[in-house]
């Protein structure tokens, strides 16, 4: 009996030990798995190498360099994004009291097609004081070079792309030494001054990118002459369209409107459905513009969809989706938005010319869009070609599209596209005293300048009701 009890007791003790061992093993396994999961989900940005931090500090402590000090950067992405970066660069140059080197304009974001800033824009240096500017070609003739190319930790797509622009310029300094990473906690004016304000020893500061390198806040921290000066004086002075562009845009608009403001109609291309209205001789049509984005936006819009599905979208992405705004439109959605545009313009009661800013015009002749008789810049190819001696076609076409749309009274734009934002910016620049630079036009601003802006929306078929009124 005693042996039986002893064997039972030993068995129980063994079972308890095994159970305890299993529990400990499970605990350790879960802890390990949790740690692996944490590492997989949270991947902090690696700090800048200590050598980079030291090199940056040493250069900033060097004795002040003699002569003017300069700030330059590489233009990136599409032309509209290049102009957004230019505005950031203006603020950086003012904060650091440096002469801003105006980079070339790049077609499609590549250095295979580029033009001097002054070929597209009639800069007014006298209106820019205290900002000092010089074009890149003139700067290069000085024979100056930065010691190192600086790279900022910018949370934006393509922020670490290569240096094809500097290669195209024929300089070698960006390859002589590895780029210098400069850590910054943010891109507020105070942080920019703290990081670079003391770098008087660097006669030239060169950056790979300044896109997304400025924290907007409310404008109170902007350097003198202030926020209003930046938007209503500096940007209009930097981005006033050159006379050739202005003239070409006026000709396109005149042919589209076909009335009193048109050029002689005999010089206009033969566009089906266009011509002086037979029932209203001499009267000008209204002009409406639709920005239709496809191509690279197929992938871009898919990324925004995945960002929403992640449950952690950026605030502006979540806001756009919550308002029912559409990133990529199917033909039926485009048709519904065009009907809303026509309705907002007064319907059939008023003759209306519809212009599409679109890279590939072939969808305009498809079944869904053919009834709207949309024209595009492809119908005016000779005028684009006339600008070729100074402006490559990829650059001229983008700027002409924006200038034509900026003269429309009614627009339907893509809220996800910087191009659409720059159309509104161009409208603001054309009314510098009233609006100035603006990547979104408020209802009050629209009323003040006589335009109405809608944004492409998902339709009821897509799950959201289309509104003919002002998008909120």
| pLDDT of amino acid 2 | 41
Residue range(s) in the chain whose domain bears CATH number 3.40.50.11340? 50-238
d(CA 184, CA 179): 16
Q: What is the pLDDT of residue 457?
A: 95
What kind of architecture, by CATH, is found in domain 243-462? 3-Layer(aba) Sandwich (3.40)
> Where are the CATH 3.40.50.11350 domain residues in the chain?
243-462
Question: Which one, of 426, 395, 387, lies nearest residue 408 by Cα?
Answer: 426
- In 3D, which of 281, 295, 422 has the Cα closest to residue 359? 295
Q: Distance (Å, rounded) from C-alpha 158 to C-alpha 74?
A: 12
Q: d(Cα 233, Cα 238) in Å, to the nearest integer?
A: 9
pLDDT tens, per residue, the chain with 472 residues: 444 444 445 555 555 455 555 554 444 433 333 332 222 222 334 455 555 666 666 666 666 667 899 999 999 888 999 999 999 999 999 999 999 999 999 998 788 899 999 999 999 988 999 999 999 999 999 999 998 899 988 765 544 566 889 999 999 998 888 888 888 878 999 899 999 988 888 899 999 999 989 986 766 678 889 889 999 999 999 999 999 999 999 989 988 887 545 566 666 776 654 444 444 444 568 899 999 987 778 888 999 999 999 999 989 999 999 999 999 999 999 999 999 999 988 764 557 899 999 999 999 989 999 999 899 999 988 888 887 778 999 999 999 999 999 999 999 999 999 999 999 999 999 999 999 999 999 999 999 999 999 999 998 765 544 443 344 3
DSSP per-residue codes, 55-78: HHHHHHHSPPPSS--EEEE---SS
CATH of domain 50-238: 3.40.50.11340
Which pTM does this prediction carry?
A: 0.82
* Residue 163 pLDDT: 81
Q: What is the DSSP string of 388-427?
A: TTTS-HHHHHHHHHHHHHHT-SEEEE-TT-HHHHHHHHHH
Q: Contact at 8 Å (CB) between 408 and 287?
A: yes
CB 375 within 8 A of CB 256: yes
R_g (Cα) of the chain, nearest Å:
29
Cα angle at 333 between 330 and 338, to 5 degrees?
125
pLDDT of residue 215: 87
192 sits in which H/E element:
helix 189-196
- Integer Cα distance of 107 and 110 in angstroms: 6
């Amino acid at each position: 009996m005693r042996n039986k009890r002893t064997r039972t007791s030993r068995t129980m003790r063994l079972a308890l030990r095994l159970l305890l061992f299993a529990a400990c093993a499970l605990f350790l396994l879960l802890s390990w798995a949790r740690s692996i999961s944490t590492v997989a989900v949270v991947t902090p940005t690696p700090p800048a190498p200590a050598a980079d931090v030291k090199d940056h500090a040493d250069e900033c402590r060097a004795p002040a360099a003699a002569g003017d000090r300069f700030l330059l950067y590489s233009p990136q992405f599409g032309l509209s994004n290049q102009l957004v970066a230019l505005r950031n660069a203006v603020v950086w140059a003012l904060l650091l009291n440096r002469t801003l080197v105006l980079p070339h304009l790049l077609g499609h974001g590549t250095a295979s097609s580029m033009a001097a800033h002054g070929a597209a824009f009639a800069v007014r240096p006298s209106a820019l004081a205290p900002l000092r500017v010089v074009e890149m070609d003139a700067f290069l003739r000085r024979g100056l070079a930065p010691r190192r190319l600086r790279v900022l930790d910018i949370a934006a797509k393509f922020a670490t792309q290569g240096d094809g622009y500097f290669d195209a310029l024929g300089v070698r300094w960006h390859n002589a030494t590895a780029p210098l990473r400069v850590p910054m906690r943010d891109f507020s004016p105070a942080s920019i001054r703290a990081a670079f304000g003391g770098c008087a020893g660097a006669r030239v500061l060169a950056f790979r990118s300044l896109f997304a390198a400025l924290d907007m806040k409310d404008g109170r921290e902007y350097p003198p002459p202030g926020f209003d000066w930046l938007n209503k004086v500096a940007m209009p002075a930097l981005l006033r369209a050159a006379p050739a562009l202005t003239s070409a845009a006026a000709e396109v608009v005149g042919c589209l409107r076909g009335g009193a403001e048109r050029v002689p109609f005999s010089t206009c291309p033969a566009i089906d459905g266009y011509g002086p209205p037979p029932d209203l001789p001499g009267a000008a049509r209204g002009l409406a513009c639709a920005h239709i984005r496809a191509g690279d936006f197929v992938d871009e819009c898919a990324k925004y969809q995945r960002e929403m599905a992640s449950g952690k979208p950026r605030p502006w992405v979540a806001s756009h989706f919550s308002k029912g705004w559409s990133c990529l439109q199917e033909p039926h959605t485009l048709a519904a938005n065009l009907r809303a545009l026509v309705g907002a313009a007064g319907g059939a009661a008023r003759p209306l010319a519809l212009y599409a800013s679109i890279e590939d015009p072939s969808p305009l002749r498809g079944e869904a869009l053919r009834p709207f008789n949309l024209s595009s810049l492809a119908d005016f190819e000779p005028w684009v070609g006339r600008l070729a001696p100074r402006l490559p076609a990829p650059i001229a076409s983008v700027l002409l599209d924006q200038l034509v749309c900026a003269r429309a009274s009614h627009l339907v734009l893509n809220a996800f596209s910087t191009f659409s934002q720059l159309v509104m910016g161009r409208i603001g620049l054309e009314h510098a005293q009233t609006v100035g630079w603006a990547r979104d036009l408020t209802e009050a601003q629209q009323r003040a300048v006589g335009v109405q802006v809608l944004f492409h929306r998902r339709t009821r078929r897509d799950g959201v009701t289309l509104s003919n009124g002002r998008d909120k």
